[in-house]
Amino acid sequence: MQQPKEQVKLYNLVFTHNWEDPESDHKALNIQPHDSVLAITSGGCNVLGFLLFDPDVIYSIDINPAQSYLLELKIAAIKGLSFEDFQTFSGLVHCNDRLLLFRKIEPHLSKQALDFWYANQQILKRGFIMSGKYERFIRLAGKFINFLQGSKRVAGLYNATTAEEQAIYFDKVWNTRRFHLLFKLLFNKRMLAKRGLVADYFHFDDGSKSFAESFYNRSKKAFRDIPIKDNYFLSLYLFSKYRDENQVPAYLKRQNFEILKSRVDRIQVITGNAQSWIDTMPDESIDCFALSNICELMSENETARLFEAVYKTATKNGSVIFRNLMIPREVPEALQNVIVKNHQLSKELYGSDRSFVYGKVAAYSIFK
């Protein structure tokens, strides 16, 4: 499948975790039993979570082959391991030799995925959780936060029992000059480009005066206005780990494991350009589209062609969710009467989205 010249290229394993809040996806898509779903693979967490809604098929697509190999690895581990071994293999539980567990799941991996993981055994030895380029950046950011704020102030975040107490703590204790300094040092164009996205990706334009200001404003919403105790994304940013076995993505929960094991064969892992692949699909064959922020990796012309393909392949009353990180993207004006933005729901999704990195989280309905 040929990659369009306008598409930004990504290589290596950028993400081992999804940084899109699955709760936002669930509310926007409303996946029903027997639906067909198209999703951008990324870390594969949300794709696996979609299985709990009993769709017939999930087309999981990513232009980066490393992300496909990661999802293959997670699927193979679910297929070939017990829940306890899966936890251990993932990195949630200490293990002296994860390569022994890897050998158990080798038969479930493609040759290309095997070659990739044999070349990246250090990730297997550590466990795949928090092991991508972006996650390594998060580890660095977490160390800075704990150094600049101090362990006592960080621990105090979790003492608030009400929304009012949390807001007061942020305003009076957490919102220091040192906290602002973090964004100037780490959340800037040059640093973020080093952590997985080529520099040409960034064309800052969201109304803020700088990248630091933009990401500060997003983090303020997460630390101040969204319940911290239920937000595993913040736990990863602060501590590079989950707080406990209940504050994890759905695919890592014990009660879901056997369901996932029985359904993982419904996932079709695809490496390629989403727009080109959708063009090959029959009309009205996909119910739900979870597009992450792939439009930012495309020109405006490519974005228009993507949504033309989405409309062609969408079923009646189909649904779409997509995000913007930095670059403004929207459904082309010519399609806005048939791919219709739900403004109220989009506002609610952005307001409650636990992952602070995205500047836009928007839901759409398709009318035919």
The whole-angstrom separation of Cα 9 and Cα 294 is 11
The pLDDT, as a whole number, for residue 187 is: 66
Segment 190-199 long-range contacts (CB within 8 Å, at least 24 positions apart): 191/137, 192/137, 195/133, 195/134, 195/136, 195/137, 196/10, 196/12, 196/14, 196/15, 196/132, 196/133, 196/134, 196/137, 197/8, 197/10, 197/14, 198/8, 198/9, 198/10
DSSP state of 192: H
Answer whether residue 55 shows pLDDT above 70. yes
What digits encode the pLDDT tens for the residues 343-354? 999 999 999 999
What is the dihedral sign for C-alpha 188, 6, 29, 61? negative
Q: Which domains does the chain have, with CATH numbers?
A: 22-129+251-366 (3.40.50.150), 133-239 (no CATH)
DSSP E strand boundaries for the chain: 36-40, 57-62, 267-271, 286-290, 314-324, 339-341, 360-366
By mean pLDDT, which of 140-149, 197-206, 323-332 is the weakest? 197-206
Q: Buried b / exposed e across 277-292, counting CB within 10 Å, b at 16+? A: bbeeeeeebbbbbbbb
- Contacts of 135 by beta carbon, 8 Å cutoff, 6+ apart: 15, 16, 17, 129, 236, 240
**Beta strand pairing call for 360-366 and 339-341:** antiparallel
The label of the residue with tokens 């290596």 reads 12
What digits encode the pLDDT tens for the residues 10-40? 458 999 999 999 999 999 999 999 999 999 9
**Top-confidence residue, 255 or 189:** 255
- Contacts of 21 by beta carbon, 8 Å cutoff, 6+ apart: 233, 353, 354, 355, 361
Average pLDDT over residues 338-366: 95
44: tokens are 């594969």
Answer whether residue 192 shows pLDDT above 90. no
Q: How many CA atoms lie within 13 A of 257 on its CB side?
A: 18
Quote the radius of gyration of the chain (alpha carbons, Å). 20
For residues 81, 82, 84, 90, the Cα torsion angle rounded to the nearest 10 degrees is 30
What digits encode the pLDDT tens for the residues 212-233? 788 888 899 999 999 998 899 9
